[in-house]
Amino acid sequence: MNPVPDIYRILPEVILALTGVAVMLLDASLPPAWPRRPLGWVAAIGTTVALWASLWQLSLPEGSAFFSTVETSAFTVFFHVLICGIVLVALLLSLDTLPEHTHHQGEFYALVVFGAVGMCLLTSAVELLLVFIALEISSISTYVLAGWRKQTGRGPEAAIKYFLLGSFATAFLLYGIALIFGATGTTQIYQIALLAPTAQNQSLVLAALALMLVGILFKVSAAPFHVWTPDVYEGAPSPVVALLSTAPKAAAFALLLRVVYEMFPNLRSLWAPLLWIVAVLSMTVGNLAALRQQNVKRMLAYSAIAHAGYLLAAFAGIGSIGIAAAAFYTAAYAAMNVGIFAVVTLVAGYDEQLSLIDDYRGLIYRSPILGSLLIFFLISLIGIPFTGGFFAKFYSFTAAVGGGAIWLAIIGLLNSGLAAAYYLRLALVAAQRPVGDQRIPQAPKPAVGAAVIAALFLAVAATLVLGIIPGATLGAAQSAAHTLQAPPAPAATAVTDPAPPAH
Amino acid sequence: MMTAPMTSIGQSILTLILLVPLAGAILVALVPDRFKLPNWIALLTTLATFVLTLHLPAHFISGQSGFQFEQNLPWIESPAIFYHVGVDGLSLWLVVLVGLLAPVGVIASWNAIQTRSKIFYSLFLIQQTAMFGVFVSLDLLLYYGFWELSLVPMAILIAMYGRKDGPRAALKFFLFTFIPSAPLLVAILWLYARTGTFNFTDLQYQTASGVLPAGALFWVALAFLFAFAVKVPVFPLHGWLADTYNEAPVALAMVVAGKLGLYSMLRFHVGLFSVQARAIAPLLIALAVIGILYGACLALVQRDFWRLMAFAALSHLSLIVLAIYGLTFLGWAGGVYQILSHGVVDGALFLLLGALELRYATSLIGSYGGLAAKLPRAASYFVIASLAMIGLPMLSGFIGEFLILSSTFAGVSRPWAVAATLGVILGAAYMLWLVQRLFYGPESALAVSKPSADLRFGELAVLTPLVVLMLVMGLAPSLWLNSIRAGVHPPPPPSPAAHASVILSDRSAAKGVEGSAGVFRIAGPTQPSPEAAR
């Protein structure tokens, strides 16, 4: 049997990195007067190629490379395709909505692609140091992107907040890595899974788990580590938020799945209740806070926190059912959230003159297509059947019920009812007929080009496909779950298996 | 399940009925908004759908138990969700009713909806698909999907075309139905976790067989009942009704009222949880009678005719709830018949009131008066529809009301029947008073100031068939009742092993109204009811 060349295992990352470098070099070598917009197309094409490369990796036999630091499996391919898809939609969205005169436009595209390298690597790394490096690659580019609107006060504020709190959280993760190295003498995830149950100092292992959870839960903006989210979403440009609220979260959830299901399956009795609490907190805090928001982006930020909670409910599921539900939720959430931020970008414009819920009054009369799309994505976020949001919640809560957490499912569903109130408030305001004496919001006509149409089409199609024929995606999520459940190390196969290793 | 030889059209007719409005909705969304194109496409789509629904009674084998026109395809493997649709005598005519009311709704909106008619007709057609879906789904999760979907177009359209404060009414309508559906979903999931199926027939067998824990089943049945009771609505849960009637576009108010909730009660609460339904029936009977009287009393004092219609609807729908929880086959048949009659009569009344509001731009009853001289045709149609609603013999309302009240009198209890009859008398009072205030008496200032034409050709073209239908339904009820009876009271299945069945006591049987003790296919073989054992 021919061994698979190591480079094949990181092919999508290599393609993305080369694309980013090419964009930067082109940006530097083109005459300053030339438009930088074509660089966005270069980045989009590179991302598409990386997406195909990820799919091609399915034909490789499952395995790891580079001294067991990265692996390819159905799990990594699932998240690679998801992240590349999100990045592609975000790039297409930025192509048409970034104003012509934006400074350093070329670097913007390069940073998006470099961020994608980090996120992809994060999902395929099986060595904690590489995990850390990947996390930093993705974080640093998102920190920069969050502060892109330097001329407003909120942009830099968002970037600095995100950077400071993010660095703090990453430090927790790093500390956790250090402790687990102290306990087991290795940073390779399969080795840790093998050695952790018999480590001499169990309190060290527990502390490592807790610290790593803090670091990761910050990245997915779960309560009580969520305070950065509304400020960052409000300050960052909307196309960046479309990326920020989905792709890094998907990568972080992939890491969380790896940590709890693959690295510490034996500590389920410890992390499952913790995640139960975090899930309930996230959905309740997120929804209650969202009810009071007047600013659309802040409202969607709190709704993102609530969705992190629904997603964490899937972690109450046993084994591969929970993993598959979480993976499916990530995909559905990404599709609808990218879509709604795309609509928000188009409605509000890059400089966001229309940021309040009241500014959306009569949107469906002003701009029927945008209004209908807004309502469509909101309906998916509510979780109405035949949209992706329904099956996402459905699988998540089914997994929770299957894992014995019936109350979690009931709290989650009641929270969905609560969430419907604020999503619907926006949808109904957008549908309302403007009455004579009310102020009619004046907005610049959104620039709708081919790229934006393609982005919206992808988001709508993904949301509908996940809602009407979820079978294929669910199948992919299930095979991803099985590869995560059956790692090479024999001792870490079954979650409920209490048998100690042989030595 | 497939007990009859089916032609290929017979197998896919329900799918066609579901898909045609959806295709129409997409088409409406694509065509330019010119020359009333969306209106025409919507009208043609709804007419085509109506013709398709007529295929069902034409080829329905009455007197045969089980579902017909079934189609059962795997949709999602895990969890095992099937695209499983079919109709029986219970749902057959409800599907036709929705099909009939759809073109009526389009005509009613023809002039009323002037702006963004593309969105209006698209959502209206999606609403059709959702309603058909609720009536034909035999897979619990598919049913739940359509049940939730039916909320969305309604809420958006109320917000878009509300008369005064659309968004608030829409939010109320949506949340009132959406929040109770959360426990409903949990209950469905619990059933699936215990039985491994969403299939209605399998679940019927499982719930009746007694393998499921009775304590949990009580809560599951309650979750089902709660979701349906809000949707009907049953007395203390009617908070959304008046605002929705007041704000909703005429076309939607007439299609949405009552039918979904009542059908769901009969099929999925009484049908799935017969033991639990029997336990909770006294409460529902009491609430229904309170609802009949309360709705009628409030209807008497309303000054706005939409609100009057809302409380009249509460009263009439409560009568059907009474029929359902009387748990007699005769009552059930009467209840289903009354749903049909109420749909037709309410549709005609809504159309007429909508026409009045379009002409005079107000819904305050006090502004009207003496219109009969100016709008003689509208007045006579309104009087006929009102009489049908009151339950005058020879008109459709009479049959249902008579069956319900007589079965309640014979099979449930006399005091409740008397109280319910009192509500029916009050119903005559508010309807006739409404007719008098709108059409007779001295001409009001409004009627003098706005000279308006009588009903147009388009309005007559839909009202006349509806009025004829009221007459036919009043004169020849057996055209409908035979297949309805087969739905609620099927003949014994050919092989007793395939369909576990038990003899339920049919207390009306003793009075000789219905015939011998009925065999009802929902209860298990091991649980004869206490009355039968006596």
CB neighbourhood size of A2 (10 A): 5
Tell me how far CA of residue A291 lies from CA of B70, B167, B178, in angstroms.
Answer: 44, 16, 17
Number of A–B residue contacts, CB under 8 Å = 104
Identify the contact set of chain A against chain B, taking CB-CB distances under 8 A. Answer: 364-365, 368, 372, 375, 379, 382, 384-386, 390, 394, 397-398, 401-402, 406, 409-410, 413-414, 416-417, 420-421, 424-425, 427-429, 431-433, 470-471, 474-475, 478
The H or E element spanning position A65 is strand A63-65
CA–CA min distance A299, chain B (Å):
18
Q: How far is CA A481 from CA A74, A405, A454, B431, B446, in A?
A: 8, 20, 31, 63, 71
- Going by C-beta distance under 8 Å and a sequence separation of 6 or more, which residues neighbour residue A140? none
Q: Could you give the percent of chain B with pLDDT greater than 90?
A: 19
A58: amino acid identity, one letter: L
Interface test with A, best of B148, B154, B222, B247 (most A CBs within 10 A): B148
H/E stretch holding B390 reads helix B376-390
Cα–Cα distance between B528 and B316 in angstroms, integer? 33
- As a whole number of angstroms, the distance between CA B87 and CA B55 comes to 12
Structure tokens at B16: 């066609």
Closest CA of chain B from A198, distance in Å: 36
pLDDT in tens, B194-241: 888 888 888 888 888 878 888 888 888 999 999 999 988 888 888 888
pLDDT at B522: 39
How far B141 CA lies from chain A's nearest CA (Å)? Answer: 9
Single out the residue of A311, A318, A277, A495 nearest to residue A403, CA to CA.
A318
Q: What are phi and psi of A488, to 5 degrees?
A: -55, -35
**Where exactly are the structural domains of chain A?**
6-492
Tokens of B48: 């085509």
Instruction: Write out the E strands in B473-517.
Output: 502-503
Amino acid sitting at position B380: S
What pLDDT is attached to residue B8?
65
Helix B166-178 and helix B214-231, axial crossing angle in degrees, nearest 10: 160
**What does the pLDDT profile of chain A (503 residues) look like in tens digits?**
567 888 899 999 999 999 999 999 999 998 888 888 889 999 999 999 999 999 999 888 888 888 889 999 999 999 999 999 999 999 999 988 888 777 788 899 999 999 999 999 999 999 999 999 999 999 999 999 998 888 888 888 899 999 999 999 999 999 999 999 999 999 999 999 989 888 888 899 999 999 999 999 999 999 888 989 999 999 999 999 999 999 999 999 999 999 999 888 888 888 999 999 999 999 999 999 999 999 999 999 999 999 999 999 999 888 888 999 999 999 999 999 999 999 998 888 777 778 888 888 888 888 888 899 999 999 999 999 889 999 999 999 988 888 888 889 889 988 998 899 899 989 988 888 776 655 666 666 666 788 889 999 999 999 999 988 888 888 888 888 888 876 544 433 333 334 444 44
Note whether A369 and B146 are within 8 A (CB): no
Q: How far is CA B296 from the centre of its chain?
A: 19
> Distance, in angstroms, between A108 CA and closest chain B CA?
36
- The three-class DSSP label of residue A59 is helix
pLDDT at position A498: 40
Which pair of tokens denotes residue A363? 């949107």
d(CA A17, CA A138): 12
What does the CA dihedral B360, B362, B366, B370 come to, rounded to 10 degrees?
A: 20
Write out pLDDT tens, residues B294-328: 999 999 998 888 889 889 989 999 999 999 898 88
Q: Is B189 close to A398, i.e. CB distance below 8 A? A: yes
Among A385, A391, A398, A464, residue whose Cα is nearest residue B133:
A385
∠ CA A290-A295-A297, nearest 5°, is: 80
Q: Is A2 helix (H, G, I), strand (E, B) or coil?
A: coil
> By CA distance, what is A477's nearest residue in B?
B78
**CA of B204: how far to CAs of B142, B197, B211, B229, B502, in Å?**
16, 11, 12, 20, 13
Which residue in B155, B167, B193 is closest to A429 by CB distance?
B167
Taking only the tens place, the pLDDT of each residue in B481-516 is 888 887 776 544 444 433 333 333 333 333 333 333
| Residues in chain A within 8 Å Cβ distance of B76 | 470-471, 474
- Predicted pLDDT of residue A140: 92
Structure letter (DSSP) for residue B86: E
Rounded to whole angstroms, the Cα distance separating B322 from B325 reads: 5
How confident is the model at residue B496, as a pLDDT? 40
| Closest CA relative to residue B80, chosen from A392, A398, A384, A409 | A398
Closest partner residue to B175 (CB to CB) among A372, A421, A433 is A421
Q: Is the peptide bond before B233 cis (omega within 30 degrees of 0)?
A: yes
The pLDDT value given to residue A78? 94
Helix (H, G, I), strand (E, B) or coil at A433: coil
Q: For the residues B144-164, what does the mean pLDDT come to?
A: 87
Torsion of CA A75, A76, A78, A80, to 10 degrees: 170
Q: What pLDDT shows up at residue A2?
A: 64
d(CA B491, CA B467) in angstroms, rounded, equals: 33
d(CA A160, CA B376): 75
- Say which residues have a Cβ less than 8 Å from residue B87's Cβ, sequence separation at least 6: B14, B56, B60, B67, B68, B69, B95, B135, B136
- The answer to whether the Cα torsion of A203, A209, A211, A214 is positive or negative is negative
Which run of H or E residues covers position B407? helix B396-411
Would you say A86 and A35 are in contact if contact means Cβ atoms under 8 Å apart?
A: no
Cβ–Cβ gap B162/A427 under 8 Å = no
Dist CA A227 CA A383 (whole Å): 25
Q: Which residues contact A316 (CB under 8 A, 6 or more apart)?
A: A272, A275, A276, A279, A322, A399, A400, A403, A404, A405, A408
State the CB neighbour count (10 A cutoff) for residue A73.
23
Extract the tokens encoding B395: 């008109």
Q: Among B2-6, B43-47, B103-107, B361-365, whose mean pLDDT is lowest?
A: B2-6
Residue B114 CB-density burial (10 A; 0-12 exposed, 13-18 middle, 19+ buried): exposed
Convert the pLDDT of each residue in B436-488 to its tens digit.
888 888 888 777 787 777 888 888 888 898 999 998 988 888 888 888 887 77
Neighbours of A24 (CB within 10 A): 18
Give the gyration radius of chain B's Cα atoms: 22
Lowest-confidence segment of A143-157, B16-30, B399-413, B504-518 by average pLDDT? B504-518
Residues pairing with B139 in the sheet:
B199
Question: What average pLDDT does the structure give for chain B?
Answer: 82
**Which contiguous run of DSSP H or E holds residue B70?**
strand B68-76
Record: contact A409-B175, CB cut-off 8 A: no
The single residue listed with the structure tokens 């099985």 is A482
Supply the DSSP string of B323-387, one letter for each residue: HHHTT-HHHHHHHHHHHHHHHHHHHHHHHHHHHHHHHHS--BGGG---GGGT-HHHHHHHHHHHH
- Calculate how close chain B gets to A120, using CA atoms only, in Å: 28
* Residue contact A384–B156, C-beta within 8 A: no
**B171 vs A416: CB contact, 8 Å cut-off?**
no
DSSP designation for B62: T
A20 Cβ contact list (under 8 Å, min separation 6):
A43, A46, A110, A111, A113, A114, A117
Confidence at residue B7, expressed as pLDDT on a 0 to 100 scale: 55
Distance CA B106, CA B327 (A): 37
For residue B506, the distance in angstroms to the closest alpha carbon of chain A comes to 39
Tokens describing residue A126: 């099986």
Interface confidence (ipTM) of the complex: 0.84
State the helix-helix crossing angle for B274-300 and B305-325, rounded to 10 degrees.
150
B175–A427 C-beta distance less than 8 A: no
Which one, of A359, A213, A387, lies nearest residue A295 by Cα?
Answer: A359
Question: Cβ separation of A379 and B162 shorter than 8 Å?
Answer: no
